[in-house]
Amino acid sequence: GENVEQHPSTLSVQEGDSAVIKCTYSDSASNYFPWYKQELGKGPQLIIDIRSNVGEKKDQRIAVTLNKTAKHFSLHITETQPEDSAVYFCAASVHDYKLSFGAGTTVTVRA
């Protein structure tokens, strides 16, 4: 099955700086790559996703890039704010709609 690795496991950034989280996947047939944000006491929330026919997607301060050749994708958060502090998960899916998740990155934005 699909194996997704996520780095780093923890990330501390100064408010206003950028944060980057990287994920690699093993199954070259994977075609959908979402990112989820999980705040304390809540379920994961979909924040952005990208499909295999697109190299980059941006939504305000967040962006995702995909390199199919290298089988890795990244989440970029610019101008970080305290409310960006959360656990972020990457995931990958092949055609059967099931998601394989990375282990998560705990992001702390220092004021």
Partner 1 sequence: EADIYQTPRYLVIGTGKKITLECSQTMGHDKMYWYQQDPGMELHLIHYSYGVNSTEKGDLSSESTVSRIRTEHFPLTLESARPSHTSQYLCASSETGNRAYEQYFGPGTRLTVT
What residues make contact with partner 1 under the rule CB under 8 A?
1, 32, 34, 36, 38, 41-46, 49, 87, 89, 93, 97-104, 106
Q: Which is nearer to partner 1, 43 or 83 (CB)?
A: 43
Q: Is 65 helix (H, G, I), strand (E, B) or coil?
A: strand
- Min dist CB 91 to partner 1, Å, is 8
Task: Give Cα 71 to chain centroid, integer Å.
Answer: 14
Q: Tell me how far CA of residue 57 lies from CA of 12, 34, 39, 94, 96, in angstroms.
A: 24, 11, 23, 19, 23
Q: Which is nearer to partner 1, 14 or 60 (CB)?
A: 60
- Min dist CB 1 to partner 1, Å, is 6
- Min dist CB 16 to partner 1, Å, is 26
Burial class (CB in 10 A: 0-12, 13-18, 19+), 11: middle
